[in-house]
Amino acid sequence: MNYRSFGGLDYRPSALGFGCMRFPSVDGKLDEDGAVKMIRRGVDRGINYLDTAYPYHDGRSEGIVGRAVRDGYRAKVKIATKMPIWLVKTASDFDRLLDEQLGRLGLDSVDFYLLHSMGKDEYLRLKALGVLEWAEKAMASGRIGRLGFSSHDGFEGIKYILDDYDSWVLCQIQYNYIDSVGEPGTKCLKYIASKGVAAVIMEGLRGGSLVDPPPPIQRIWDRAERPRKAADWGLQWLWSQPEVSLVLSGMSSMGQVDENVSSAEASRPGLLDSRELALFDEARAEYKRLTAVPCTACRYCMPCPNGVDIPRNFGIYNDGIRFDKGEKARGDYAWMLQAMKLGLARADERAAACVGCRACEAQCPQKIPIAAWMDQLKATLGEGKPFVTSLG
């Protein structure tokens, strides 16, 4: 295993971290015994960072991690879990939730505690409730080691959070070679590193979408002098950047564990040469060509007065076309409604909530006919009608 730097901490994380949100299932049921074996296989091969969270696998992931680190494995790993900030209503919830999570894990403490999926607005709300003072007391008592946050916000939102508090040790962002020029993007990765904060990467393979690319993308990889599987290309692109502290992978089979560990063993900053990096430029351009809605996720259209997350809807739709995974896109769209029912979102953020007021369209730099596209998204993602690449 190769090990990397972790911000300003005296800790060398494995290049590959184990993301504990895609464990295997057998006959439709979560295979807890298999998940424990997978985690231990990864640790035996050098993984020393486990990432879980309160809602993963309907609340069962933390318990599985707790089982996996028995029998001497706890001393071999750092454990990160996350506060479900959407469940925080009052300051008393901070201790209540951490107590519940430590109970699930069967531990007295965790090494890293992240505020989960936190944008600027959520940060300001939690800060007003005293979350930073609470976290410092929790660190002083030893219940949590260090504080970090994960975010799907854009660069400016993440920058604000980083600049507002000096004791963050890690920031977890979605980042891959497709998202590098969008939000939060490479600019954000470099800014995190410039603050002396560890950059932990999630969705490095876009939830598996980059593992099985459509034929136009595969033909690009087939031209490389050094052959690699598509997943290895995506991972090596991340590890080639020295600002990346570690890359999380949510693995769901023992074969995936072994393949990803082998990729990590071969990784190092600067591994890819100029010709290989040029292939990524081609692949990125091809994915852009396959994009139906020219949304750059600048979020100028937001907030929507009816609660629609316009860029997210467009992202789901575009991914269904770019990666030829229509059913996955429909599943992601359906999850948005489920998220509201579970309290993970404040409102129905789907295209279905659009009323066609067009307040967003005047703000869109790309001049996208957003309301018309929302009607198309409702039909395609909500009703199962075919994907289209342009409005008729």
Q: Domains (ranges, CATH) in the chain?
A: 16-281 (3.20.20.100), 290-383 (no CATH)
C-beta neighbour count of 245 within 10 angstroms: 26
Q: pLDDT for 360-379, tens place per residue?
A: 998 887 889 999 999 999 99
DSSP E strands, 192-282: 198-202, 244-250
Confidence (pLDDT) at 322: 87
Q: Tokens 């949304």 label which residue?
A: 295
Confidence (pLDDT) at 21: 92
Residues in the chain where the model's pLDDT stays below 50 = none
Angle between helices 370-377 and 310-322 (to 10 degrees): 60
Confidence (pLDDT) at 10: 95
Confidence (pLDDT) at 125: 96
- pTM summary value: 0.84
* Tokens matching residue 242: 């020295």
Confidence (pLDDT) at 179: 85
Q: Tokens 């560990």 label which residue?
A: 261
Nearest in space to 17 (alpha carbons), one of 186, 233, 199: 199
The strand pair at 29-30 and 25-26 is best described as: antiparallel
Confidence (pLDDT) at 169: 98
